[in-house]
Every structure is written in C-alpha cells, then in structure tokens.
Amino acid sequence: MARLVDDAYLEILASAICHDLLSPIGAVTSGVEFIEEAGPGANIGADSEALDLIAASARAASARLQLLRAAWGGMGANADFGPNDARTRMDALLGLESRVVQDWAPEDLSSWSGPGAGKALLLALMVGAECLPRGGTLRVREQAQGLLIEATGERASLRPHVEAALLGQTAVIDLPPDTVHAAIAGLLLARHGFALSPRAHMEGRAAFFLKRAP
C-alpha cells in the first residue's frame, strides 16, 4: 500500500529540484557575466574558458533535468521506459559530474519490464550513487523476484539516517538535507508499486533489493 503523502513533501521536492539545478545554472550565469564584463568589443570567441564553462554547465543542467523528469515526473512511469533508458539517463549525468560508473547491461534484465519498471530502477540507481561519496561502481543483477543493486567504492555506505528516510521512517519536517533524495525515492517507489530494501552492508559496499511490492 502506498504511503500517504504529506503536503510538506511538495515543498522538499521543489527545494530539491532547485538545489540540483542551482550549481550548473549558476555556473552558466557566471560565464555570461564574465563575457559581459569583457565589454562589447572583446573577442568572445577567443575566450574559450568562459565559453567552455557555459557549455559544460548547460550540458550538466540539461542532463540533470532529463534525469529528474524521468525519475520524479510522469515520463519514467511509461511502460516503454525501460532499463536501457534508465542507464542512459544515469550515464548522461555521471559522465559529466561524477566519479561513479555503471557496470551492468540492460539486456541482462530481460524480465524487468512493464509500467514503472524503468522509473523504479532509475530511482534505485540514484540512491545507490549517493552511497558513493568518493566515486565507485554501480552494478545491477537480475535475481528471482527482483533486482540486486550494488554500490561499491571507497567509503561506500548507506548511512542509517538515509536508510530511515528511504524507508519512510522519518517525519518530513525532520528530514536532514542529505536524505531528501532517498525520502523522495522511497515515496515514489511505493506509489508505483515497488519497494527498495537495503541489504546487509560491509565496508566499501552498499546493496539494495528492488522488487514489486506485494
């Protein structure tokens, strides 16, 4: 059964989107301001540093918007949004601003399909990536009844307060900033009929099992 949604979740969702986009959009603004300060007679084409900053930041903002649209919006819930789409969205973002890589093949998840399946996988991958503060590897393996998601790397861990937020055990007004993504993931997974359960962890490894809720 899906959890009831506290209206305050709308506030943290909006705040999370703004927070995630603030850095790349702010960098675009900085690049534009730098060019403006150079004056109308400046050779803008020669100022590759400012233009490179604008281009890289715009790509990062676009990649993050596409990721959030699929994970938090309605697009990812479509039946035709599958594991390959989830991997593509993650790769687009990780390749720009992260030391996290993916080591799994969408074709190996042959039975993971249907409405919401790709969205659920994308949400699980986002939670896994946040368990890798110093970079690492995300792996997905198909098992009976669901998927095993593993995040391995230096200091990889699922912190207890993040786990509590993921499982809906923390009141929304008490959510620390670093738990917001996990809390939203847990809420959306439940809403679409999925559950992400933490597995036994060890040093340098965090693992989750993603399945359809009974």
Query: Residue 168 is part of a domain; what is its CATH number?
Result: 3.30.565.10
3 domain-assigned: no
**Tens digit of pLDDT at every position of the chain (214 positions):** 445 556 777 788 888 888 888 888 898 888 888 777 876 666 655 557 778 888 888 998 999 999 999 999 988 898 899 999 999 999 998 987 779 999 999 999 989 999 999 999 999 999 999 999 999 999 999 999 999 999 999 999 999 999 999 999 998 888 888 999 999 999 999 999 999 999 988 889 999 999 999 8
Query: What pLDDT does 204 receive?
Result: 95
Q: Does residue 155 lie in a domain region?
A: yes
Whether 89 is covered by a domain: the verdict is: yes
Residue 92 lies in a domain: yes
Residue 72 domain-assigned (yes or no): yes
97 within a domain of the structure (yes/no): yes
In a domain, 32, yes or no: yes
Residue 4 has what pLDDT? Answer: 53
* Domain that residue 161 falls in: 8-212
Tally of structural domains, the chain? 1
Rounded (10°) angle between helices 48-72 and 117-129: 130
Q: Judge whether 2 lies within some domain.
A: no
